[in-house]
Amino acid sequence: MNPAKAALTKTLRREAGRWLKAARESVGLTQAELAEKTGLRYYTFVSQVENGLGRVPIEAQAVWAESLGLEPGQFARTLLRYYEPELYRLLFDGAAEEAEPVADRAAQA
């Protein structure tokens, strides 16, 4: 991976983490409570994801969404936008939700 792409990936992961943290806090869950609701053995995984050091696995996105009171499809699209921006662009370019910045959605979560 070239340095510019690596830097962008790191930045996007941190933004995804901030979005997830805002969503978690908006429903009043601690990291430990979210870990329990999502079947994680250790809350530190939630911390790693929120700090941009990890990502929510695809197979766990529905349970994370439901635990956070979010619609699973929209949750997955939002994470895809952070985790795989080029794929997101290919799939959803020109979609109505494209006009709404991801950071704005985090504030609403």
Query: Which pLDDT belongs to residue 1?
Result: 74
* Interior/surface letters 4-30, b for 16+ CB within 10 angstroms, e for the rest: eeeeebeebbebbbbbbbbbbeeeebe
Q: Determine the residue type at 32.
A: A
Q: What single string gives the DSSP state of each residue in 26-81?
A: HTT--HHHHHHHTT-S-THHHHHHHTTSS---GGGHHHHHHHTT--HHHHHHHHHH
Which single residue is written with the structure tokens 């794929």?
A: 87
Looking at residue 94, what is its pLDDT? 67
Predicted pLDDT at 93: 85
Give the chain's domains with CATH numbers. 3-108 (1.10.260.40)
What does the pLDDT read at residue 99?
Answer: 42
Contact 43, 81 (CB under 8 A): no
What does the pLDDT read at residue 98? Answer: 44
Mean pLDDT by 10 residues, the chain (109 residues): 91 98 98 98 97 97 98 98 95 63 50
Q: What's the token pair of residue 100?
A: 């709404």
